[in-house]
């Protein structure tokens, strides 16, 4: 099979590799679509994200869908031929966090495209059968691949305690901010305010769930009063302004990855008894993602703005720098001449 391999910062090579053989609990998936995440682009450009350092060849890509073509001995043959969305992680089921239902926090987690675990930018990939989620025929391969960022939005909305009638402020109108806005509306939020300094991103937010958009560089975010604030930007100013906008006993959810340390308004958090928490990936979200997309309450297909084959992975990783880009998708069967 062919695999797109990151060999050093800003160096991608297309390699021939053996098609892997599934372990007893695994399935072999022929990959049909892979979404490009900001973390993929960061690994490509910088060779690291925080403590995670690329110190050897690495296959990127963790937003993936495909078709099961082979199964391990412990998996029913009936799964062969099923279209699936891949939940790209392998926790230790015996860890305390996994047993508590928080398998995303398992300290022994093996996560796609996080060094040294290879990801899905290849023609075939292995995953445990329980993390290969069936996809109905009325959901596209591209949308199935984007269940992964959608799951981040679902986990964020759950942490933010969004329900019917909620008001929520979301900082950042990138892909995660856009799916979070859609999820917030699906969960019943009646006021979804999205901030971004980029006018085109604010326009995207209006297409994908926002009831109001603001430019935080010129408008007073702190004057808002909302039930919950979700940061999908990672920007220190956005976080601090957002915290000031939350009503007493409201919720603050940090999703965006920015600086590792910056000052927070501790007295305000204490005096308003705000609940402040983070989101690290997700757990038990794929069935919700499938239901939201199948029902039409979340539109993932409209977020795809560019498509590339495996030969065009470097272009896909730089697509976020193109005007109007929301989400690039790699389709292994697509030739470079047909990149769009």
Concatenate the DSSP letters of all residues of 292-328 into one string: HHHTTSS--GGGEEEEE-GGGHHHHHTGGGSTT--EE
Torsion-angle region of 321 (φ positive above 0: left; ψ -120 to 50: alpha; else: beta): alpha
Which residues of the chain are in CATH 3.40.50.720 domains? 152-278
**Partners of 70 in the beta sheet?**
28
∠ CA 192-198-200, nearest 5°, is 80
CB atoms within 10 A of CB 107: 10
Q: What is the pLDDT along the chain (340 residues), one digit of tens a residue?
A: 999 999 999 999 999 999 999 999 999 999 999 999 999 999 999 999 888 899 999 999 999 999 999 999 999 999 999 999 999 999 999 999 999 999 999 999 999 999 999 999 999 999 999 999 999 999 999 999 999 999 999 999 999 999 999 999 999 999 999 999 999 999 999 999 999 999 999 999 999 999 999 999 999 999 999 999 999 999 999 999 999 999 999 999 999 987 778 899 999 999 999 999 999 999 999 999 999 999 999 999 999 999 999 999 999 999 999 999 999 999 998 876 556 6
Please give the Cα distance from 169 to 245 (Å, whole number).
8
What does the alpha-carbon distance between residue 236 and residue 222 come to, in Å, rounded to a whole number?
A: 14
**Element housing 313 (H / E):** helix 313-317
pLDDT score of 260: 78
Closest CA to 257 of 42, 6, 61, 112: 42
Assigned fold of 152-278: Rossmann fold (3.40.50)
pTM of structure: 0.96
CB 302, CB 329: distance < 8 Å: no
Please state which architecture CATH assigns to domain 2-146+300-338: Alpha-Beta Complex (3.90)
Residue-level pLDDT at 336? 65
Q: Give the per-residue pLDDT at 282.
A: 97
Residue extent(s) of CATH 3.90.180.10 domains in the chain: 2-146+300-338
Q: Which residues, other chains included, contact 273 with Cβ-Cβ below 8 Å and sequence gap of 6+?
A: 248, 249
Cβ(224)–Cβ(237) below 8 Å: no
Asked if residues 46 and 58 have their Cβ atoms less than 8 Å apart, the reply is no
pLDDT of residue 338: 59
**How confident is the model at residue 307, as a pLDDT?**
97
């Amino acid at each position: 099979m062919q695999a797109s391999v990151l060999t050093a910062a800003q160096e991608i090579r297309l390699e021939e590799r053996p098609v892997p053989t599934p372990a007893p609990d695994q399935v072999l998936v022929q990959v049909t679509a892979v979404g490009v995440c900001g973390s993929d682009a960061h690994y490509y450009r910088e060779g690291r994200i925080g403590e995670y350092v690329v110190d050897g060849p690495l296959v990127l890509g963790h937003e993936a869908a495909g078709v099961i073509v082979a199964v391990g001995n412990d998996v029913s043959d009936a799964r062969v031929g099923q279209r699936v969305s891949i939940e790209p992680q392998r926790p230790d089921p015996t860890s305390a966090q996994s047993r508590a239902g928080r398998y995303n926090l398992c300290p022994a987690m093996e996560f796609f495209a996080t060094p040294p675990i290879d990801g899905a930018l290849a023609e075939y990939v292995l995953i445990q059968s329980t993390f290969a989620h069936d996809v109905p025929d009325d959901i596209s391969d591209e949308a199935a691949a984007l269940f992964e960022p959608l799951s981040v939005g679902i986990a964020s909305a759950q942490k933010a305690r969004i329900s019917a009638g909620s008001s929520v402020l979301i900082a950042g109108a990138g892909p995660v901010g856009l799916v979070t806005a859609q999820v917030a509306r699906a969960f019943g939020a009646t006021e979804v305010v999205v901030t971004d300094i980029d006018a085109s991103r604010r326009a995207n937010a209006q297409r994908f769930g926002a009831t109001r958009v603001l430019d935080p560089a010129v408008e007073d975010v702190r004057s808002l009063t909302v039930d919950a604030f979700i940061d999908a930007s990672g920007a220190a100013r956005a976080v601090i302004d957002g915290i000031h906008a939350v009503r007493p006993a409201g919720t603050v959810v940090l999703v965006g990855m920015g600086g590792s340390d910056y000052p927070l308004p501790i007295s305000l958090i204490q005096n308003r008894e705000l609940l402040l928490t983070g989101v690290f990936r997700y757990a038990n979200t794929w069935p919700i993602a499938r239901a939201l997309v199948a029902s039409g309450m979340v539109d993932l297909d409209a977020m795809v703005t560019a498509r590339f084959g495996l030969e065009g992975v470097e272009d896909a990783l730089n697509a976020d720098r193109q005007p109007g880009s929301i989400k690039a998708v790699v389709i292994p069967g697509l030739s470079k001449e047909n990149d769009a």
